[in-house]
Amino acid sequence: MTIVTQEETSQWLLPPADAAAVRDSMLGLPRLLQMPLTMFTGKPYTGQRRVQLRPTTHVVTAVLSIGSGLAVSAVGWTLGAWWLLLFLPGWAMVLHGARNLRMMMYHQAAHRNMWNKRRADRILGRIIAGLLIVQDFDRYGEEHTIDHHAIHHMTVRDPTVQAFLIGLGMTPAMTREQMWRRLYSRLLSPAFHARFLWGRVRSYTHPATRLVLVGTAVSYGAGLTALALLGWLPFVLVAWFLPLTFFFQVSNVLRLCVKHTFPPPSMVDRRGKSYFAGLTNAIFIGEAAPGQEVTGVRRIGAWLRWTGRMLFVHAPSRYLVLTGDTVVHDFHHRFPMSRDWANYIFAREENIAAGNPGWPVYKQVWGLRSGIDVVFASLAAADPGEFSAERIGEVSDRELFTAFDD
């Protein structure tokens, strides 16, 4: 068994100053790249001034991403041959937009905090739920605020915990290495994805009102009929439903694995700010750029390696998994009703600059893999008696796999 020591964990969890040093190492790059790097990494450089975004901006960009992805795939479908490779960026853009709709807009609407207009937020939430086939909006809003944000946070009543214990089948008795192997096996399992998809359908249809179900059935029925008559149904199945199902679920699982850490057995007080702040870390994307100490041919190689890792390792993590504000989800758990949520990156940074008054110091890691290692290590160290799948039936009537809807 591999035991994770405090020294090993500290290599992942960084204090704010060390995290800032990683981002500031990129200041040697052209000024034109600094704002894109901030949005990419989730971390502003020291002293950077914010850009002001609005909630509607995030909705528009998400919809444009989906529309552009479908358009790119349509070009590949029409031209055929090697042009079919256009499905790769097309799938990526569709998935990115869909995950942003789910992780930001649907989430904020459930908090009644999208536009701070109850009716508009509810309409948007229901549209997204029907479009993406995720948990019924009203049911999600109720469970999310009660079982995830209140006193049941990271207990066996929390959907996040249930997804680990039931969906992934991970337990405190497993080592980190065993959890990684279990994660890979689930991501590649057709049976897992079939059950996951069925859970999504059930979580949408089971609690929904008859009016919502009829409206969804009519909308999908009319849409599919029109596509079939036009001969575009096979294209839509490949260009839309594939990223909506398999790719969406892979992204969902990887996102789950960095969402929250498990409380250690020694954590007795589970109601205060230290508890809620201590179980969520920022997951910045990227790594430190080569320093001035690297010279000559070695410097060229270091920059080529850094660029390659940023493009082919970290960029997919940010664009396809940790989309939108998920890189700084810790800010949301401190201020779930913040009206500045649309400017999540800079709002968090300004809170740090103010000394995070009333709250503990923020914690953060750099890189998706490091973020997963931290969560797996926390589960391995958790109380096996408390975090047991057998206890879930005692405290929750949530159906199997509906808890996986993040």
* pLDDT at residue number 6: 43
Reduced to 3 states, what is the DSSP secondary structure of residue 112? coil
CA distance 406 to 396: 17
Reduced to 3 states, what is the DSSP secondary structure of residue 369? helix
Q: Residue 1 domain-assigned?
A: no
| Tokens 């159906």 found at | 399
Number of domains in the chain: 1
β-pair partners for 283: 365
The one-letter amino acid code at 72 reads: V
- Could you report the per-residue pLDDT of 104-150, keeping only the tens digit for each? 999 999 999 999 999 999 999 999 999 999 999 998 988 887 777 77
- Could you report the per-residue pLDDT of 176-202, keeping only the tens digit for each? 999 999 999 999 999 999 999 999 999
CA distance 213 to 45: 47
Answer whether 158's CB lies under 8 Å from 146's CB.
no
At residue 262, φ and ψ (nearest 5 deg) are -90, 145
Whole-number Cα distances in Å, 349 to 105, 143, 147, 345: 22, 30, 28, 6
Answer whether 203's CB lies under 8 Å from 402's CB.
yes
Q: Residue 37 domain-assigned?
A: yes
Q: Residue 38 domain-assigned?
A: yes
| Tokens 């909006």 found at | 137
Q: Residue 17 domain-assigned?
A: yes
Q: What are the tokens at 347? A: 């709002």
Q: Residue 166 domain-assigned?
A: yes
* pLDDT at residue number 213: 86
* pLDDT at residue number 8: 54
At residue 4, does pLDDT exceed 60?
no
Reduced to 3 states, what is the DSSP secondary structure of residue 165? helix
CA distance 404 to 12: 26
β-pair partners for 365: 283
Q: Residue 331 domain-assigned?
A: yes
CA distance 329 to 221: 37
Whole-number Cα distances in Å, 213 to 124, 141, 230: 16, 18, 26
- Roughly how many angstroms between the first and final C-alpha of the chain, as a whole number? 30
81-95, 158-172, 246-260, 308-322: segment of lowest average pLDDT = 158-172
Q: Residue 169 domain-assigned?
A: yes
Closest among 236, 226, 192 to 87, alpha carbons compared: 236
Q: Would you place residue 9 in the very low, low, confident or very high pLDDT band (cuts 50, 70, 90)? A: low
Q: How many CB atoms are closer than 10 A to CB 147?
A: 23
Answer whether 280's CB lies under 8 Å from 346's CB.
no
12-26, 222-236, 261-275: segment of lowest average pLDDT = 261-275
Answer whether 375's CB lies under 8 Å from 150's CB.
no
- Could you report the per-residue pLDDT of 21-56, keeping only the tens digit for each? 999 999 999 999 999 999 999 999 999 999 999 999
Rounded to two decimals, the pTM is 0.93
CA distance 378 to 4: 9
Query: What range does the domain containing 158 cover?
Result: 6-404
Q: What are the tokens at 155? A: 């207990």
| Tokens 């649907």 found at | 106
CA distance 252 to 132: 13
H-type alpha helices, 133-281: 137-143, 159-162, 176-187, 190-205, 210-230, 233-236, 242, 248-259, 273-278
At residue 267, φ and ψ (nearest 5 deg) are -80, 100
Across residues 81-104, what is the average pLDDT?
A: 97
Whole-number Cα distances in Å, 301 to 135, 286, 296, 310: 47, 18, 9, 14
Helix (H) or strand (E) holding 78: helix 55-79
Answer whether 157's CB lies under 8 Å from 147's CB.
yes
Reduced to 3 states, what is the DSSP secondary structure of residue 379? helix
At residue 397, does pLDDT exceed 70?
no
CA distance 205 to 400: 14
Q: Would you place residue 396 in the very low, low, confident or very high pLDDT band (cuts 50, 70, 90)? A: low
